[in-house]
Amino acid sequence: MSECFEGNGKCLCGSVTITVKSLNNSIGACHCNMCRRWGGGPFIEINCGENVSFAGKDDISVFASSDWAERGFCKKCGTHLFYRLKEGNQHMVPIGLFDVKEGMIFDSQVFIDEKPSYYNFADKTNDMTGAELFAKFAPPSE
């Protein structure tokens, strides 16, 4: 069962801070080639939805990584700040930006079909391939 609490996070240099009014305790990993290229490994994130506010917006740079999503990072220190779906403004934020220590549950992995064989997680998770993810969440094509 998912718990919710308020979350505050920040980039490495502290120039950008993040406030989330309702942060759930469910953590996921994305193994897609783009996320691994972006961060050098899987993207370990928490879905913060659209109820996210940023202070230090002048220090945020955004890269449109696809037709449907963009990635934000701190201009000063390079910290990855979010993966955001353009439609719906849904933010997936690296869990490491928050000072949470207890109560988090690693329960999902996406693009499991793109995960390289040189690492594995021991936790039992709900896994989806890229095709399964797009089939479930992609907006209908016109």
Q: Which domains does the chain have, with CATH numbers?
A: 4-137 (2.170.150.70)
Verdict on whether the full-model pTM lies above 0.85: yes
Collapsed DSSP state (helix, strand, coil) of residue 138: coil
Collapsed DSSP state (helix, strand, coil) of residue 130: helix
Collapsed DSSP state (helix, strand, coil) of residue 47: strand
pLDDT on residue 62: 97
Average pLDDT, the chain: 90
What are the phi and psi torsion angles at 73 (to 5°)? -150, 160
CA distance 132 to 135: 5
pLDDT on residue 102: 81
pLDDT on residue 129: 96
